[in-house]
Structure 1
Amino acid sequence: MSQRGLWGLAIFLGISMVALPQAGALPTIPRNVREMLGAAPPTNLISIALVVYSFSALVLILSRIGSGNGSYRGWSHLGYLTAFYAFYYYAEALDSNFWAIFAAGFTILSLEHYHIWAFCRENIRKEKEHMKQLERKEAFFSQE
């Protein structure tokens, strides 16, 4: 279960390597596709959406950490972050905004991984404590 966070982080790094402007891995969008889809949203609105999303995601992760909830939500974050790469790419502004998405995504997914890792570590600690109690009871009753 604790490896989910690492897998999510690894997939995000792979997506980021493809989206890296210097890599040149993304094709140009054909003119007829641009005409069909229409104009791209303004980059300042995409940036506002990225800031709001990042803040909301961090608050939700921190609340799950505080509540002891062990659910992993990294897969949906991967979808949202990939969509931000796509929006900036379509708006022809990925070059200047790549690092903002990368920093937000790495922070969100790292915190998500820490959350799952800490949850698993705590459950393992509780299980070991429970096993020690059972061993003490077994030793006590076997002496009689």
Structure 2
Amino acid sequence: MEAAGKDKMATGSAARDAKSVLRQGLVDDMARLRRFSNRGLFALSLFIVASTVAWRGFTFLPTPQQLVAAMGTPPTPFMISMVLVLYTFSAIILSLSRMMAGVYHKSSFCHVGYALGFYLFYYVADALADNYWAVFGAGFTVLCLESYRIWTFCSDQLGRKQEQLDFLERNGRMPPEEEDSLYS
């Protein structure tokens, strides 16, 4: 008789432990998603800092003439502009396709590097003053779109995690897996 009571208590304790482990996992996932949702804003802030440095003319770098003497002739400003246009449209299309597919992807900070690269190419070509706003507009557009994509992805995932947590609290178990279908 006592053994049956101890078995029931052990089973109940194991169920509570499993529920608390599942609950903690969901809470941890939600905290991670909240932190990740700010990634786009951090990248945008870094881009603003890089743009400010470019606006001031990269005062810590050698002059464009010294760089050309050391590295050789840079691409023409027209060629850099064509690549900037190609990059901008490609990045926008890629970001929109990731948004539509709901893909988890952390690409924000690489776009800061690309924009900084365009600033540097224009600087070396001695055409930064004429093309600063083109790079700034392209970078700002791409990074705002990326920030929005990341934020909407995280908001969607947070909603799902909250639903799972609510189900767990009501029923003591995780909800059945939902099948994602293209035709449902």
Category of TM-score, reference length = shorter chain: 0.7 to 0.9
- Alignment-derived partner of residue 90 in structure 2: 56
- The structure-2 alpha-carbon separation of the partners of 1:98 and 1:32, relative to structure 1 and needing over 3 Å to count, comes to closer
Pick from 33, 45, 48 the counterpart of residue 10 of structure 1. Answer: 45
Gaps of 5+ in 1: 139-144
- 1:46 equivalent in alignment to 2:80: yes
Q: Matched residues in 1 for 2:64 and 2:136: separation?
A: 26
Contact 1:54 1:108 in 2 (8 A): yes
Runs ≥4 residues deviating over 3 A: 30-33
What's the offset of the Cα at 1:55? 0.4
Q: Matched residues in 1 for 2:103 and 2:93: separation?
A: 14
Contact 2:74 2:125 in 1 (8 A): yes
Q: Deviations over 1:42-99 (max 9, x none)?
A: 1110000000000000111011101111211012111111110000011111111000
- 1:29 equivalent in alignment to 2:63: yes
Choose 1 or 2 for highest CA Rg. 2
Pick from 100, 105, 121 the counterpart of residue 71 of structure 1. Answer: 105
TM-score, length-normalised on structure 2?
0.69
- The structure-2 alpha-carbon separation of the partners of 1:31 and 1:107, relative to structure 1 and needing over 3 Å to count, comes to closer
Q: Matched residues in 1 for 2:67 and 2:125: separation?
A: 13
Gaps of 5+ in 2: 1-35, 173-184
What's the offset of the Cα at 1:129? 1.3
Q: Matched residues in 1 for 2:88 and 2:101: separation?
A: 20
Q: Kindly, what percent of the aligned residue pairs are identical?
A: 42
- The structure-2 alpha-carbon separation of the partners of 1:133 and 1:95, relative to structure 1 and needing over 3 Å to count, comes to same
Name the Cα RMSD after superposition.
1.6
Q: Which moved more, 1:75-84 or 1:43-52?
A: 75-84
Contact 1:72 1:112 in 2 (8 A): no
Q: Matched residues in 2 for 1:14 and 1:88: separation?
A: 17
